[in-house]
Copies of this chain bind each other. A is one copy, B any other.
Amino acid sequence: MLEDKNQQRTSLASLGEFGLIDHLTQGIELKQPGTLTGIGDDAAVLDFKDKKTVVSTDMLVEGVHFDLAYMPLKHLGYKAVVVNISDICAMNATPTQITVSVAVSNRFPLEALEELYGGIKLAAKTYGVDIVGGDTTSSQKGMILSITALGEAQAEEITYRNGAGDSDLLIVTGDIGAAYMGLQVLEREKEVFKVNPNNQPDLDAYTYLIERQLKPEARKDIKALLKSLEIQPTAMIDVSDGLSSEIIHICKQSGVGCNLYEEKIPADPQLISACEEFNIDITTVAINGGEDYELLFTIKMEDYDKLKGNPNFTVIGHMAKESEGVHLITRANTKIPLKSRGWNALQEE
C-alpha cells in the first residue's frame, strides 16, 4: 500500500548506509544525565552510577507483529519504542536509553523511514529516553524493527516476577482488552477497503480502541505513583501477551496460585459496546487479548488501604497457595482454570 501511493520518493541507495544514518539521526538530542556518548562511535557510553541497569529487547516483524495496511509508519515507530519501555516499567525501573535497529527492503523510500523515525523520536521525547545507537540495513522482504531499552533503578525498587506471596492482592492499571478489539475493528475495515476502496469508514465509535492498538502508552507514571503511596510491589509484569498469560507467568515464577474475578476486570465502555456489536465475549477479549501495555502487579494485603479508591488501580484478584491452581472466578461463581493462550508468533498458518 505504502509503496504505491508515494509521489515523492528518495531511494535509500542514493544516500548510502552512513548517509542514511546521519539523515535519520538528525536532531536527536541527549537529555539523560547518564548518557555520556550517543550515536556516532562503535558503541554508546552510559553512566548508571550507583543504580542498577535494566535491559530488555524486542523484535517486531512486518506481517507478523504489524500490518502496514493500517499501521501508519509513524505509529509503528512510536509503538515499537513503547513496547520496550513497557518492559523496563514492568521491572519498576525508569527507562533511560534505547537503541534502534531497522531492516527494510530497498522498495521503501527514504520518506517512509523518515515517518518511522518520526514516531521513534516522538516516543523517545515523550518518555524522556535517549536514542543512543542502532543499525540500519536492508531486508529481503518487508520491515523488521529491533529495539533494546535500558533503564535504571535502585536495587531495592526493582520488582521481579517471582516475588508474589500467596496472600498478596493482584492489581492491574488502567483497563484491559481495548487494544485487541481495536485490531478487530481495523481488520474489518481492511476487508471493507478491499471490496470498496472508496468507502469512508466511520470509526467514531471505536476511537479509544483504535488508539489503544495503534498508539499504546507505557505506564512510566506508575513507579512514581507507587512510591508516593509508599507501596513496594512484590511482583510485576506488563500486559503484552494477555492478562491470562501474564498471571500464569507470575504464578509459575513465584510458586503461587491465583483467583482472578471476572466481575473485577476493568473494561472501557467502548470495549463493552464493540464486544456486543462483534458478538465476542468481553472476558475472553480481556483475558487473552494482549497488547494493552498496562502493568499487572501484586502487593501485600496490608498495603491495600494505600491504593484503595485510586482510579489508576483495580484489584482484580488475589494470590493463593500453589496447590489451589490458577483460576478465573466467573460472575456465576464457577471456577475455570486459566490457560496461557497468549498470542503466538510461531504458530503455523
Contact = CB atoms under 8 A, between A and B. Distances in A.
Contacts of A44: 54-56
Contacts of A47: 52-53, 155
A48 B48 contact: yes
Interface stretch (A144-152, A209-217, A255-263, A272-280): A144-152
A297 to B, nearest CB: 11
Interface stretch (A73-81, A98-106, A195-203, A310-318): A98-106
Contact of A151 (B43, B54, B135): B43
Interface in A51-93: 52-59, 61-65, 87-88, 90-91, 93
Interface residues of A, number: 79
A166 B349 CA distance: 60
B16 A346 contact: yes
B59 A103 contact: yes
Given A65-B137, A103-B144, A91 B345 contact: no
Number of copies of this chain that the complex holds: 2
B59 A344 contact: no
Nearest to A160: B41
A251 interface: no
Given A132-B55, A133-B57, A138-B61, A238 B16 contact: no
A40 interface: yes
A91 B46 CA distance: 12
Interface stretch (A7-15, A298-306, A319-327): A7-15
Given A20-B346, A45-B53, A137-B345, 20 more contacts: A17-B342, A17-B346, A40-B161, A42-B161, A43-B54, A43-B93, A44-B55, A46-B54, A55-B132, A55-B150, A57-B146, A59-B102, A59-B103, A61-B139, A64-B139, A101-B146, A138-B345, A140-B142, A141-B141, A141-B142
Please provide the 7 A-B residue pairs with the shortest distance between their CB atoms, ordered closest to farther.
Answer: A146-B146, A43-B56, A42-B90, A59-B101, A46-B53, A141-B141, A13-B348
21 contacts: A13-B346, A13-B347, A17-B345, A17-B346, A41-B253, A43-B55, A43-B88, A43-B90, A43-B91, A47-B52, A53-B150, A55-B148, A57-B148, A59-B102, A59-B146, A61-B103, A61-B144, A63-B140, A64-B140, A65-B137, A141-B142
